[in-house]
Homo-oligomer: A and B are copies of this chain.
Amino acid sequence: MLPFARVTIIGLGLIGSSVARAIRAQMPGVRITGYDSDAGVRDHARSLNFCDDITDTAGTSVIDADLVLLCVPVGAMGAVAAEFAGDLPADAIVSDVGSCKVSVFEALSAALPGVTIIPAHPVAGTEKSGPDAGFATLFKGRWCILTPSENAPEVATERLRSFWQRLGADVETMDARHHDMVLAITSHLPHLIAYTIVGTANDLEEVTQSEVIKYSAGGFRDFTRIAASDPVMWRDVFLSNKDAVLEMLQRFSEDLTALQRAIRYDKGDELEALFTRTRAIRRSIVEQGQDDDAPDFGRKH
């Protein structure tokens, strides 16, 4: 049995359009309604035809939904929820795909009093944005984390779990606060660091931008991929998960200072010990199917 019959997706970018395509592929009986606040995106999404219907207002999009999935930047969740609050069926479940869960749950709870809200976060994506960037297999073999509050109805959580499993994801549930801490280290801090170093390289006077680009295969280019991610989405993530991000950043800075000191005082043994330890973590990630073992991410040579 399908966990939901009528799904509304609000926000038709990389993630929203991937969810729609994945539903089409895995649950063809589901009716998909889409909405995006950008009229140009709505028109383009209509031509891509991954929704059964795309409405011109958020309210119209939810009228007969049994699942409303918000795929907008985390800072925009509350406002869009307020837009459709009056049109939401009483038994609809509202969920999202945002990368911070405490702040999103607070914003949705305030905008949608009495509604069943089960926040979720599929840990998947690429550096591309917009409705063209989505694809049906984005969630396959990736984890989706649900963060139901203590008084969330279990049956709603189970329906959402089944929904994400059908899209190919492995599902885990977790306390929202813990989620935000875990993602601060596995996702938010890596993005922050990548954005920083790409900015640093761009601002140098001794090294030209052309040189940075030409010799980027030495490692730098890996960081530029992450630093090409959607600017508004990431602005919102850092502001919405501020405490956990600042906490992780503080630890990172301490470790970086220790390494700086090891270099300054020629402590080769310390460097080698760390570099050997980090190799083992890569091995575990590959063994557990979270990355490919192909050298250099399988880039063509």
Question: A interface vs B, CB < 8 Å?
Answer: 75, 99, 123-128, 133, 135, 137-138, 140, 142-143, 145, 172, 178, 181-183, 185-204, 206-207, 209, 211-229, 231-232, 234-236, 238-239, 242, 245-246, 248-249, 251-253, 255-256, 259-260, 263-264, 266, 268, 271-272, 274-279, 281-285, 288, 290-292, 295-301
Contacts and interface: CB of A to CB of B under 8 A. Distances in A.
B200 A251 contact: yes
Nearest to A189: B197
Contacts of A277: 199, 202
Given A252-B197, A263-B242, A218 B271 contact: no
Nearest to A14: B295
Q: How many copies does the complex hold?
A: 2
Nearest to A300: B292
State the majority secondary structure of interface residues on A. helix
B278 A222 contact: no
A207 B125 CA distance: 22
Contacts of A274: 195, 199
A249 to B, nearest CB: 6
Nearest to A266: B239
Contacts of A207: 181-182, 185-186
Given A135-B301, A227-B278, A239-B268, 7 more contacts: A185-B220, A186-B216, A188-B218, A189-B197, A209-B284, A229-B275, A292-B300
